[in-house]
Chains A and B, each alone.
Chain A
Amino acid sequence: MPMLTINGRSMSVDAANDTPLLWAIREQLQMTGTKFGCGAGLCGACTVHVNGEAVRSCQTMVGDVAGKKITTIEGLSAKGDHPLQKAWVAEQVPQCGYCQSGQIMQAASLLAKNANPTKEEVVAHMDGNLCRCMTYSRIQKAIMRAATEMRTASAAGNERRPT
């Protein structure tokens, strides 16, 4: 049985190597925050991180990620308080919410590399993630808000600030 390193834990899954990672996560590991949307890499609802890169788990086979570091929405932060998750609440982004795990995971892979993206960079990075409720403008705002928080937090760690 393949072993997966997921959200910092090693777990064996009862699934063939050619099983999409999506279904192993959802059914074998019963972590249902990662969603099935299209099964073809066209909508982004199933986005997770593999070694820090955003990938579509419906197009990623279990056999290809053994030994790699997988992160799902459940493991993005310990208490659901990643700057993006806080920004998603602050901007009241979700409507139906179904695509939002994927949106947040996709956005997190951008901010991990670039905490000061332009609007154009955000759009280019997020354009593969469909939101049928069309919450796009709030998604953009929330990413910018989280980016600001991440820059402020890292600045706070590095610089002395007047008290």
Chain B
Amino acid sequence: MNQHVKNVTPETTDLSRRSFLVGTAATGLMLGYAGVPGIGEALAAAHANFEPSVWYAIAPDGLVTVTCGKADMGQHIASTMAQIVCEELGAKWSDMRVNLASNDPKFNDPVLGAQLTGGSWSTMMNFDAMSRAGAAGRMALTEGAAAAMGVPAAELVVRDSVISHPKSKKKMSFAEIVRSGKATKTFTPDELKAIKLKTPDQYTMIGVSVPQLDIPSKTNGTAKYGIDVMIPGMAYGAVVTPPVRYGATVKSVDDSDAKKVPGFIKAVTLDDKTQTTTGWVVAVANTYANAKKAAAALKVSYDGGPNAKVSSQSLLDEAKRLQKLDDSGQFFVKDGDPAAARGTAAKVLEAEYTTSINIHAPMEPMNATAEFKGDILHIYSGNQFATRSGAIAAGAAGIDPKFVVMHQMWLGGGFGRRLDADMMVPAVQAAKAVGKPVKVIYTRENDMTMDFSRPLTYQKVKAGVDGDGKLVALSHDVVSAWPTQRWGLPDFLTPSVDKKGPLDSLTVNGSDFFYTVPNHHVRAIKNEMAHNATPSGQLRSVAPGWTFWAVESMIDEIAVAAGKDPAQYRISLLDGAGKNDGGAQRLRNTLLAAMGLAGYGTKKLPKGEGMGVACVSSQERATASWTACVAHVAVAPSGEVSVKKLTVATDVGTQVHPDNIRAQVEGAALWGLSLAMYEKATLKDGGIEQTNFDGYTPLRMSQMPEVAVTVIANGEMATGVGEPAVTVVAPAIGNAIFNASGARVRALPITAEAVKGAMKA
């Protein structure tokens, strides 16, 4: 349905996402340099910008503007891309600027082959391409300078946007070289690939916490988010959403009262062939305040549809029913025979773990502005998946995706929410209906009740331990809605081990851990009822946010049953045997670092306090940042839990920006805490019950514990940091609660009642 998306089809026959990520790298590299032909003509024009690659341009005044193809939602990825380019280019940091890319495929991620920001992938997947782009520019500028100065290129030194020739004391700034028009060298993809990049010991920018380029604009009100877009002559749309999350249809719309609202233009009932929304009406008016008044005045009647009676309880009941069926789901991991191994095990354990529905709730409510200009549909919105969202916008407009231009904005929070494109649909159809540009802004109530939420999950884990306390068998069933399958892009699904068709690995990632367990099965079971009633999305860290809740809690339960210290037990499982070689050792080292930093096993704690550990390989085996947490909690006899400290260690391979890594890891850890203790959404009669920050309550400043972060940079490839720490915190807290009080909790969020109920009398 989308020409852009076709680009992501890998040539290999193995469609597993892991090989897809690695296997398309070479193709991506070429796509990334599609701008190289024609550069000669561009340079022929006097005082033109010098554009060594599609990723940046150097203006005649010497300013280097890097175009970031990733969505910047606060992870400062635009600044990071500029920093990587700057390292190899040899520019001065104060000369660097950033620009956010449109959806032109030439700005596609060089590895993903699409514009998609998620998975903590961006630095890892763009480091090489940005480095080569920077180096290519430096080489071209150096040749240009050599020609202009009449000296050998090999004798030139590039530093801080100046190329100098020490022998003759001649020098030229980047600005002068660009103005001279002498920088003309172009690179074929093979030449780019052959460039010898700096080794880490030569870095002067990578590893330095330079001031983030976007921060000043975020302290004075000038940063422009999607909601800030102003287009001459535009109208505003407020959406009226049905009481049922998905599946309702509009029976009738009575706008007689809305017509009395000054500035009211029209009520538009959406006809959403993309099936992203159901039963939505947009009230369009001259201002947003009037649009909201008109929306409140509209009398809409609905057919609630097939999901109108579904509740959280019915989703959980259905999950339990599905899990009990022998033929449910597909296998994600199938090593050995856990059932047989349990038959001969000395001890067998069984537990079920749940997580609630969770809402993204970024601070900037969803919004989009649509403008038809001639044949082209312009969309202004902060979005994490321009490739697909452009196609949804096109679908809503009934035009070919190639006629959609997506204008990227700063994102007022993403966390996976802005991978979705529902906001495009009301903006596009309202703009079409009223014949002028329309900015649609969700109320917080729209935003919460129509979230593509983290799904309710149910997991059942069965374990077998031999006479020595060794873990010999683990069966792990994961029942959830399938967020990624909803995209309708087969390349993002993973073939099942038992060849029962593709599965959504973004529901089970993490369960394929680095512990050595000879008999290990993981089943991914789709909860069709949840999938339909609560269309789910990717929420910061996605599957590892629930799979590690189960795995890391269960490992603790097993260690306790085997009479071992839970941290030492993990270390013994991380032996690096077979397929776990490398990753297991890194995870073990990270766990040891967190233990050391927290004083695990050395600090004497008062009664009622305890420490718990967890360690994770989020996001995926192939893209892991090795992360461990020690949680220190106090548990009152009432069951009230107070988290005193979170100590997080993470192995990121290479640090591009140490301060940013700390900011991301701390934010992620606090997200983990917020999801573990404070955030819960519920479904009743098909609708999300929580509508604003009074009912849905993310962590506030007064609830923040001490957070200590240590970063391990051991020279391996740079990996992502936006998400892994989210996943490690809940199990560490659950394990700490057990350590403090003997109460084992198995449901997120953790409540005082559950803790008290689990305490031994």
Contact = CB atoms under 8 A, between A and B. Distances in A.
B413 A23 contact: no
B223 A97 contact: yes
Contacts of A127: 700-702
Contact of B364 (A26, A92, A98): A98
Contacts of B364: 35, 37, 96, 98
Interface in A83-112: 85, 88-89, 92-101, 104
Interface string A62-100: 000000000011100000100001001100111111111
B701 A37 contact: no
Contacts of A37: 363-365, 444
Interface in B272-320: 287-289
Interface in A121-153: 123-124, 126-127, 129-140
B411 to A, nearest CB: 6
A3 interface: no
Interface in B663-715: 663-664, 666-667, 670-671, 674, 692-694, 698-702, 704, 707
State which size class the interface on A falls in: 35 or more
Contacts of B491: none
Contacts of A73: 220-221
Given A32-B228, A123-B702, A131 B221 contact: no
Contact of A85 (B220, B289, B410): B220
Contact of A38 (B441, B444, B660, B674): B444
Interface stretch (A39-47, A49-57, A155-163): A39-47
A135 B667 contact: yes
A129 B363 CA distance: 11
A36 B702 contact: no
B288 A27 contact: yes
Given A42-B693, A123-B702, A140-B701, A96 B219 contact: no
Contacts of A88: 215, 219
B396 interface: no
Contacts of B693: 38, 40, 42-43, 130
Given A127-B700, A132-B698, A137-B704, A94 B215 contact: yes
A163 to B, nearest CB: 31
A136 B664 CA distance: 12
Given A27-B288, A32-B228, A132-B362, A80 B216 contact: yes
Given A35-B227, A74-B221, A92-B211, A136 B701 contact: yes
Interface stretch (B50-58, B68-76, B98-106): B68-76
A137 B707 contact: yes
Contacts of A101: 221
B598 to A, nearest CB: 18
Contact of A96 (B224, B363, B444, B670): B363
Given A27-B287, A126-B701, A89 B413 contact: no
Interface residues of B, number: 60
Contacts of A99: 363
Interface of B is mostly: loop
A42 B221 contact: no
B605 interface: no
A45 to B, nearest CB: 6
A123 B209 CA distance: 28
A40 to B, nearest CB: 5
Contacts of B214: 94, 97
Contact of A30 (B230, B363, B412): B230
A16 interface: yes
A92 B415 CA distance: 20
B16 interface: no
A80 B694 contact: no
Contacts of A115: none
Nearest to B411: A96
A100 B212 CA distance: 15
A59 interface: no
B659 interface: yes
A16 B262 contact: yes
B218 interface: yes
A91 to B, nearest CB: 10
A116 interface: no
Contacts of B225: 35, 98
B628 to A, nearest CB: 20
Nearest to B221: A33
Nearest to A125: B701
B629 interface: no
A100 B74 contact: no
Contacts of B220: 33, 73-74, 80, 85
Nearest to A37: B363
A151 B674 CA distance: 35
B289 A15 contact: yes
Contacts of B363: 35, 37, 43, 45, 96, 98-99, 130-132
Interface in B223-276: 223-225, 227-228, 230, 236, 262
A80 B667 contact: no
Interface in B61-79: 73-76
A105 to B, nearest CB: 10
Contacts of B12: none
B443 A39 contact: yes
Contact of A134 (B227, B667, B702): B667
Given A96-B74, A137-B666, A89 B365 contact: no
Given A92-B663, A127-B701, A136-B701, A36 B441 contact: yes
A73 to B, nearest CB: 4
Contacts of B667: 95, 133-135
B700 A130 contact: yes
Most chain A CB inside 10 Å of its own CB: which residue of B218, B223, B363, B692: B363
B413 A132 contact: yes
Which 8 residue pairs are nearest across A and B when measured between Cβ atoms? Answer: A33-B221, A97-B218, A98-B412, A96-B74, A95-B74, A80-B220, A134-B670, A32-B228
Interface of A: 15-16, 19-20, 23-24, 26-28, 30-40, 42-43, 45, 72-74, 80, 85, 88-89, 92-101, 104, 123-124, 126-127, 129-140
Given A26-B228, A43-B363, 12 more contacts: A32-B224, A43-B693, A85-B219, A88-B219, A92-B211, A94-B214, A95-B664, A96-B410, A129-B701, A133-B413, A134-B671, A135-B663
20 contacts: A28-B287, A36-B365, A37-B363, A37-B365, A43-B444, A89-B215, A89-B219, A94-B218, A95-B667, A96-B73, A96-B410, A97-B219, A100-B219, A104-B219, A129-B701, A133-B74, A133-B667, A134-B666, A134-B674, A134-B704
